Amino acid sequence: MLYSKDLLIELVKINMQEGFSPIDATLEQVSGPRIGSYIEQKLPEAIMQVFCDAPVYLLEQCDASSILTPNKNQNGSGEVILPDDMLRLTLFKMKGWERAVTRFYPADSPTAELQTNVYTMAGRAKPVAILSLSHEGERVLKYYSLPPEVQNHEIEDALYVKIPDISKPIEINELLLPSITYLTAAMVFDIMGEVERAAIMRANITIKQ
């Protein structure tokens, strides 16, 4: 379902009002303009955190296979520069691989270290993908591997989740909505110094690592 920024702000305010009595002075703060500004500030951060932790099937994914360009290395490995608007890569498959990759390892992981040796480097049967940075600071995906004799490297499938842009309505699965609004509420209560109320909001978050 599509949710506008204004609707999400109102839903966060409703969450923040939970637990306040009608005569509680703090309740008035939840409806004030300053609170709306705090919510707008923290909303993208909360959405990104929940989207990064959520199961893939609950997320809207974009096809990146036609916009990524693989750069081949002589040993059959290669790399692609990732889109600037990418929040999370969810699937990647080179033509010639027997399976797609859905787990992406950091550059400092033991799995990444294994790819530096020709005898331990992954192949087409069990490929490996590493998230890293180029010398220019761009986010790249290093993939391992295809046989060295393969002349042309082509991407068969690639899916990713975009960084949320709350300036326009965004697609949010209803199962993720409570976690987003409660997390945003918790972040705003943190700003206000309401530690106990922030903890109450976090207790309602269901999408966690």
Indicate the SS3 state at residue 5.
Answer: helix
pLDDT for residue 166? 95
pLDDT for residue 164? 94
Dist CA 117 CA 77 (whole Å): 12
pLDDT for residue 21? 56
- Backbone angle region of 31, left / alpha / beta, with phi > 0 → left and psi within -120 to 50 → alpha: alpha
pLDDT for residue 208? 77
pLDDT for residue 115? 97
Segment-wise mean pLDDT, segments of 10 residues, the chain, 209 residues = 96 85 56 84 97 97 95 96 97 98 97 95 97 94 96 97 96 97 96 91 89
Supply the DSSP string of 160-197, one letter for each residue. EEEPP-TTS-EE--TTTHHHHHHHHHHHHHHHHT-HHH
